[in-house]
Amino acid sequence: MIAYPLPDDAINAALAAVRFDADGLVPAIAQQHDSGEVLMMAWMNHDSIGETLRTGRVCYWSRSRQSFWRKGESSGQVQMLVEWRVDCDGDTLLLRVDQQGPACHTGRRSCFYRRAESGGLQVTEPVLLSPDALYGKKDPSPGF
Amino acid sequence: MIAYPLPDDAINAALAAVRFDADGLVPAIAQQHDSGEVLMMAWMNHDSIGETLRTGRVCYWSRSRQSFWRKGESSGQVQMLVEWRVDCDGDTLLLRVDQQGPACHTGRRSCFYRRAESGGLQVTEPVLLSPDALYGKKDPSPGF
Protein backbone atom coordinates (compact mmCIF):
# COMPACT_ATOMS: atom_id res chain seq x y z
CA MET A 1 0.00 0.00 0.00
CA ILE A 2 1.31 3.42 -1.00
CA ALA A 3 1.49 6.26 1.50
CA TYR A 4 -0.42 9.35 0.46
CA PRO A 5 -0.15 12.32 0.53
CA LEU A 6 2.74 12.49 -1.91
CA PRO A 7 5.40 15.22 -1.89
CA ASP A 8 5.05 18.01 -4.44
CA ASP A 9 7.73 16.74 -6.81
CA ALA A 10 6.05 13.33 -6.99
CA ILE A 11 2.71 15.00 -7.67
CA ASN A 12 4.31 17.02 -10.45
CA ALA A 13 5.86 13.86 -11.95
CA ALA A 14 2.46 12.17 -11.92
CA LEU A 15 0.75 15.16 -13.52
CA ALA A 16 3.45 15.37 -16.20
CA ALA A 17 2.53 11.86 -17.36
CA VAL A 18 -1.12 12.72 -17.97
CA ARG A 19 -2.39 13.63 -21.43
CA PHE A 20 -5.51 15.69 -20.86
CA ASP A 21 -8.18 15.93 -23.55
CA ALA A 22 -9.28 19.12 -25.30
CA ASP A 23 -11.44 20.00 -22.26
CA GLY A 24 -8.51 19.50 -19.86
CA LEU A 25 -9.99 16.26 -18.54
CA VAL A 26 -8.91 12.65 -18.20
CA PRO A 27 -11.12 9.64 -17.37
CA ALA A 28 -10.41 7.92 -14.06
CA ILE A 29 -11.52 4.38 -13.23
CA ALA A 30 -12.10 3.69 -9.54
CA GLN A 31 -11.42 0.11 -8.43
CA GLN A 32 -11.81 -1.20 -4.88
CA HIS A 33 -8.23 -2.05 -3.96
CA ASP A 34 -8.81 -5.36 -2.16
CA SER A 35 -11.83 -6.93 -3.88
CA GLY A 36 -10.94 -5.75 -7.38
CA GLU A 37 -14.51 -4.49 -8.05
CA VAL A 38 -14.68 -1.74 -10.66
CA LEU A 39 -16.85 0.82 -8.89
CA MET A 40 -17.25 3.78 -11.27
CA MET A 41 -15.65 5.95 -13.90
CA ALA A 42 -15.51 9.72 -13.60
CA TRP A 43 -13.34 12.60 -14.81
CA MET A 44 -10.45 14.51 -13.31
CA ASN A 45 -8.65 17.69 -14.28
CA HIS A 46 -5.18 18.95 -13.33
CA ASP A 47 -6.26 20.46 -10.03
CA SER A 48 -8.48 17.60 -8.89
CA ILE A 49 -5.59 15.17 -9.47
CA GLY A 50 -3.33 17.48 -7.46
CA GLU A 51 -5.82 17.66 -4.60
CA THR A 52 -6.34 13.88 -4.63
CA LEU A 53 -2.61 13.15 -4.42
CA ARG A 54 -2.11 15.81 -1.76
CA THR A 55 -4.98 14.78 0.49
CA GLY A 56 -5.40 11.05 -0.21
CA ARG A 57 -9.13 11.56 -0.66
CA VAL A 58 -10.47 11.24 -4.20
CA CYS A 59 -11.66 14.45 -5.81
CA TYR A 60 -13.13 14.36 -9.33
CA TRP A 61 -14.17 17.13 -11.68
CA SER A 62 -17.90 17.29 -12.27
CA ARG A 63 -18.58 18.01 -15.93
CA SER A 64 -22.26 18.81 -15.30
CA ARG A 65 -21.61 21.15 -12.38
CA GLN A 66 -18.22 22.39 -13.65
CA SER A 67 -16.81 22.14 -10.14
CA PHE A 68 -14.79 19.87 -7.89
CA TRP A 69 -16.62 16.75 -6.84
CA ARG A 70 -15.17 15.44 -3.61
CA LYS A 71 -16.56 11.93 -3.59
CA GLY A 72 -18.80 11.55 -0.55
CA GLU A 73 -19.31 15.25 0.16
CA SER A 74 -23.09 14.85 -0.26
CA SER A 75 -23.53 11.16 0.52
CA GLY A 76 -20.90 10.68 3.21
CA GLN A 77 -19.56 7.69 1.23
CA VAL A 78 -15.96 8.85 0.83
CA GLN A 79 -13.37 7.28 -1.41
CA MET A 80 -9.80 7.16 -0.12
CA LEU A 81 -6.87 6.71 -2.50
CA VAL A 82 -4.71 3.61 -2.19
CA GLU A 83 -2.85 3.68 -5.52
CA TRP A 84 -2.75 6.14 -8.40
CA ARG A 85 -1.91 4.63 -11.80
CA VAL A 86 -1.69 6.01 -15.30
CA ASP A 87 -1.90 4.03 -18.52
CA CYS A 88 0.65 3.59 -21.32
CA ASP A 89 -0.37 6.63 -23.31
CA GLY A 90 -1.28 8.79 -20.32
CA ASP A 91 -4.91 9.32 -21.24
CA THR A 92 -6.64 7.16 -18.60
CA LEU A 93 -6.11 6.86 -14.84
CA LEU A 94 -6.74 3.87 -12.61
CA LEU A 95 -7.44 4.78 -9.00
CA ARG A 96 -7.22 1.90 -6.59
CA VAL A 97 -9.36 3.11 -3.72
CA ASP A 98 -10.99 2.22 -0.47
CA GLN A 99 -14.66 3.07 -1.01
CA GLN A 100 -16.92 3.38 1.99
CA GLY A 101 -20.39 1.96 1.22
CA PRO A 102 -22.06 2.51 -2.13
CA ALA A 103 -20.09 4.23 -4.88
CA CYS A 104 -23.18 4.68 -7.07
CA HIS A 105 -25.74 7.44 -6.61
CA THR A 106 -28.46 4.77 -6.92
CA GLY A 107 -27.20 3.32 -3.63
CA ARG A 108 -25.50 0.33 -5.21
CA ARG A 109 -21.91 -0.60 -4.54
CA SER A 110 -20.85 -0.24 -8.18
CA CYS A 111 -22.24 1.88 -11.01
CA PHE A 112 -21.90 -1.13 -13.36
CA TYR A 113 -24.95 -2.94 -12.02
CA ARG A 114 -26.58 -3.78 -15.38
CA ARG A 115 -25.47 -6.75 -17.45
CA ALA A 116 -26.41 -7.72 -20.98
CA GLU A 117 -28.00 -11.17 -21.00
CA SER A 118 -29.95 -13.11 -23.58
CA GLY A 119 -33.24 -11.98 -22.00
CA GLY A 120 -32.22 -8.31 -22.04
CA LEU A 121 -30.45 -5.97 -19.64
CA GLN A 122 -30.50 -7.37 -16.09
CA VAL A 123 -29.88 -5.55 -12.81
CA THR A 124 -27.43 -7.71 -10.88
CA GLU A 125 -26.55 -5.59 -7.82
CA PRO A 126 -28.76 -4.80 -4.82
CA VAL A 127 -29.43 -1.30 -3.49
CA LEU A 128 -27.44 -1.08 -0.24
CA LEU A 129 -28.71 2.35 0.81
CA SER A 130 -31.63 4.21 -0.73
CA PRO A 131 -30.83 7.53 -2.45
CA ASP A 132 -33.04 9.19 0.20
CA ALA A 133 -30.84 7.75 2.93
CA LEU A 134 -27.72 8.78 1.02
CA TYR A 135 -28.74 12.29 0.09
CA GLY A 136 -31.66 13.15 2.37
CA LYS A 137 -34.00 15.28 0.34
CA LYS A 138 -31.15 16.84 -1.57
CA ASP A 139 -30.53 16.42 -5.28
CA PRO A 140 -29.32 12.82 -5.71
CA SER A 141 -27.79 13.47 -9.11
CA PRO A 142 -24.19 12.39 -9.38
CA GLY A 143 -21.45 14.72 -10.45
CA PHE A 144 -21.22 13.66 -14.09
CA MET B 1 -20.56 -16.86 -17.02
CA ILE B 2 -22.78 -15.36 -19.72
CA ALA B 3 -23.16 -17.08 -23.06
CA TYR B 4 -22.29 -14.90 -26.03
CA PRO B 5 -23.24 -14.28 -28.78
CA LEU B 6 -26.50 -12.66 -27.72
CA PRO B 7 -29.69 -12.66 -29.81
CA ASP B 8 -30.49 -9.49 -31.76
CA ASP B 9 -33.17 -8.21 -29.38
CA ALA B 10 -30.78 -8.47 -26.42
CA ILE B 11 -28.11 -6.63 -28.41
CA ASN B 12 -30.62 -3.90 -29.22
CA ALA B 13 -31.62 -3.62 -25.54
CA ALA B 14 -27.97 -3.26 -24.56
CA LEU B 15 -27.36 -0.61 -27.23
CA ALA B 16 -30.45 1.32 -26.16
CA ALA B 17 -28.94 1.77 -22.69
CA VAL B 18 -25.77 3.43 -23.99
CA ARG B 19 -25.42 7.20 -24.07
CA PHE B 20 -22.83 7.91 -26.74
CA ASP B 21 -20.82 11.14 -26.66
CA ALA B 22 -20.86 13.81 -29.36
CA ASP B 23 -18.48 11.70 -31.46
CA GLY B 24 -20.70 8.63 -31.15
CA LEU B 25 -18.28 6.93 -28.76
CA VAL B 26 -18.37 5.47 -25.27
CA PRO B 27 -15.38 4.51 -23.09
CA ALA B 28 -15.07 0.79 -22.30
CA ILE B 29 -13.00 -0.57 -19.42
CA ALA B 30 -11.61 -4.08 -19.93
CA GLN B 31 -11.20 -6.15 -16.78
CA GLN B 32 -9.87 -9.71 -16.64
CA HIS B 33 -12.91 -11.65 -15.46
CA ASP B 34 -11.23 -14.00 -12.98
CA SER B 35 -8.29 -12.05 -11.56
CA GLY B 36 -10.05 -8.67 -11.51
CA GLU B 37 -7.09 -6.89 -13.13
CA VAL B 38 -8.04 -3.74 -14.98
CA LEU B 39 -6.28 -4.24 -18.30
CA MET B 40 -7.03 -1.20 -20.46
CA MET B 41 -9.55 1.42 -21.44
CA ALA B 42 -10.55 2.03 -25.04
CA TRP B 43 -13.52 3.33 -27.01
CA MET B 44 -16.47 1.70 -28.73
CA ASN B 45 -19.13 2.95 -31.10
CA HIS B 46 -22.56 1.55 -31.92
CA ASP B 47 -21.30 -0.92 -34.49
CA SER B 48 -18.28 -2.17 -32.52
CA ILE B 49 -20.56 -2.92 -29.56
CA GLY B 50 -22.90 -4.77 -31.89
CA GLU B 51 -20.06 -6.81 -33.35
CA THR B 52 -18.67 -7.59 -29.88
CA LEU B 53 -22.01 -8.86 -28.58
CA ARG B 54 -22.64 -10.82 -31.77
CA THR B 55 -19.25 -12.50 -31.97
CA GLY B 56 -18.08 -12.64 -28.35
CA ARG B 57 -14.72 -11.22 -29.38
CA VAL B 58 -14.01 -7.65 -28.28
CA CYS B 59 -13.95 -5.05 -31.04
CA TYR B 60 -13.15 -1.42 -30.19
CA TRP B 61 -13.24 1.70 -32.32
CA SER B 62 -9.84 3.20 -32.98
CA ARG B 63 -10.03 6.97 -32.71
CA SER B 64 -6.60 7.45 -34.30
CA ARG B 65 -7.25 5.12 -37.24
CA GLN B 66 -11.01 5.79 -37.43
CA SER B 67 -11.65 2.11 -37.95
CA PHE B 68 -12.64 -1.04 -36.12
CA TRP B 69 -9.95 -2.35 -33.81
CA ARG B 70 -10.43 -6.04 -33.24
CA LYS B 71 -8.25 -6.59 -30.22
CA GLY B 72 -5.49 -9.00 -31.14
CA GLU B 73 -5.76 -8.63 -34.92
CA SER B 74 -2.12 -7.44 -35.11
CA SER B 75 -0.66 -8.97 -31.95
CA GLY B 76 -2.59 -12.24 -31.80
CA GLN B 77 -3.51 -11.44 -28.18
CA VAL B 78 -7.28 -11.63 -28.49
CA GLN B 79 -9.79 -10.53 -25.91
CA MET B 80 -12.94 -12.62 -25.50
CA LEU B 81 -16.04 -11.21 -23.86
CA VAL B 82 -17.31 -12.78 -20.64
CA GLU B 83 -19.69 -10.06 -19.41
CA TRP B 84 -20.91 -6.77 -20.86
CA ARG B 85 -21.95 -4.16 -18.32
CA VAL B 86 -23.13 -0.56 -18.56
CA ASP B 87 -23.04 2.02 -15.79
CA CYS B 88 -25.88 3.91 -14.10
CA ASP B 89 -26.00 6.77 -16.57
CA GLY B 90 -25.10 4.73 -19.63
CA ASP B 91 -21.93 6.57 -20.53
CA THR B 92 -19.29 3.98 -19.58
CA LEU B 93 -19.02 0.25 -20.30
CA LEU B 94 -17.32 -2.44 -18.25
CA LEU B 95 -16.22 -5.44 -20.28
CA ARG B 96 -15.29 -8.45 -18.22
CA VAL B 97 -13.03 -10.34 -20.58
CA ASP B 98 -10.66 -13.22 -21.00
CA GLN B 99 -7.47 -11.62 -22.32
CA GLN B 100 -4.86 -13.83 -23.88
CA GLY B 101 -1.35 -12.62 -22.95
CA PRO B 102 -0.48 -8.92 -22.79
CA ALA B 103 -3.28 -6.40 -23.26
CA CYS B 104 -0.83 -3.49 -23.59
CA HIS B 105 1.04 -2.64 -26.79
CA THR B 106 4.22 -2.34 -24.67
CA GLY B 107 3.95 -6.09 -24.04
CA ARG B 108 2.76 -5.74 -20.46
CA ARG B 109 -0.32 -7.48 -19.14
CA SER B 110 -2.06 -4.20 -18.22
CA CYS B 111 -1.76 -0.70 -19.65
CA PHE B 112 -1.80 0.70 -16.08
CA TYR B 113 1.79 -0.28 -15.31
CA ARG B 114 2.95 3.06 -13.84
CA ARG B 115 2.22 4.02 -10.25
CA ALA B 116 2.71 7.35 -8.48
CA GLU B 117 5.05 6.90 -5.52
CA SER B 118 6.90 9.33 -3.29
CA GLY B 119 10.04 8.91 -5.41
CA GLY B 120 8.18 9.59 -8.67
CA LEU B 121 6.39 7.47 -11.23
CA GLN B 122 7.42 3.81 -10.96
CA VAL B 123 6.99 1.03 -13.52
CA THR B 124 5.51 -1.92 -11.61
CA GLU B 125 4.73 -4.47 -14.33
CA PRO B 126 7.19 -6.57 -16.34
CA VAL B 127 7.23 -6.82 -20.14
CA LEU B 128 5.87 -10.29 -20.94
CA LEU B 129 6.44 -10.13 -24.69
CA SER B 130 8.50 -7.53 -26.52
CA PRO B 131 6.63 -5.30 -28.99
CA ASP B 132 8.82 -6.86 -31.71
CA ALA B 133 7.56 -10.30 -30.76
CA LEU B 134 3.99 -9.00 -30.61
CA TYR B 135 3.95 -7.03 -33.83
CA GLY B 136 6.94 -8.27 -35.81
CA LYS B 137 8.32 -5.29 -37.66
CA LYS B 138 4.88 -3.80 -38.07
CA ASP B 139 3.72 -0.57 -36.50
CA PRO B 140 3.34 -1.34 -32.78
CA SER B 141 1.10 1.67 -32.11
CA PRO B 142 -2.12 0.79 -30.37
CA GLY B 143 -5.48 1.73 -31.75
CA PHE B 144 -6.10 4.80 -29.63
Cis peptide before B5 (omega within 30 of 0): yes
Does A39 reach chain B within 8 Å, measured CB to CB? no
pLDDT at B138: 59
pLDDT at B140: 53
CB contact under 8 A, B6 and A118: yes
Distance CA B55, CA A8 (A): 48
Q: How far, in Å, are A54, A121, A122, B28, B32 from residue B24 at the CA level?
A: 36, 21, 24, 13, 26
Instruction: Provide the residue-wise pLDDT of chain A in tens; the chain has 144 residues.
Output: 566 889 999 999 999 999 999 999 999 999 999 999 999 999 999 999 999 999 999 999 999 999 999 999 988 899 999 999 999 999 999 999 999 999 999 999 999 999 999 999 999 999 999 999 998 865 555 555
pLDDT at A136: 81
A1, A2, A54, A117: best to mutate for the B interface, most B CBs within 10 A: A117
pLDDT at B136: 81
Instruction: Provide the residue-wise pLDDT of chain B in tens; the chain has 144 residues.
Output: 566 889 999 999 999 999 999 999 999 999 999 999 999 999 999 999 999 999 999 999 999 999 999 999 988 899 999 999 999 999 999 999 999 999 999 999 999 999 999 999 999 999 999 999 998 865 555 555
pLDDT at B107: 96
| pTM for the structure as a whole | 0.94
From chain A, the residues in CB contact with B34 under 8 A are none
Per residue in B1-43, pLDDT (tens digit) is 566 889 999 999 999 999 999 999 999 999 999 999 999 999 9
pLDDT at A1: 57
Does B7 reach chain A within 8 Å, measured CB to CB? yes
Contacts of A41 (CB under 8 A, 6+ apart): A27, A28, A29, A30, A111, B27, B29, B87, B92
Instruction: Look up residue A51 and give its amino acid.
Output: E
Distance CA A13, CA A22 (A): 21
pLDDT at A131: 92
Distance CA B28, CA A41 (A): 10
**Smallest Cβ distance to B10: which of A35, A53, A118?**
A118
Distance CA A57, CA A5 (A): 9
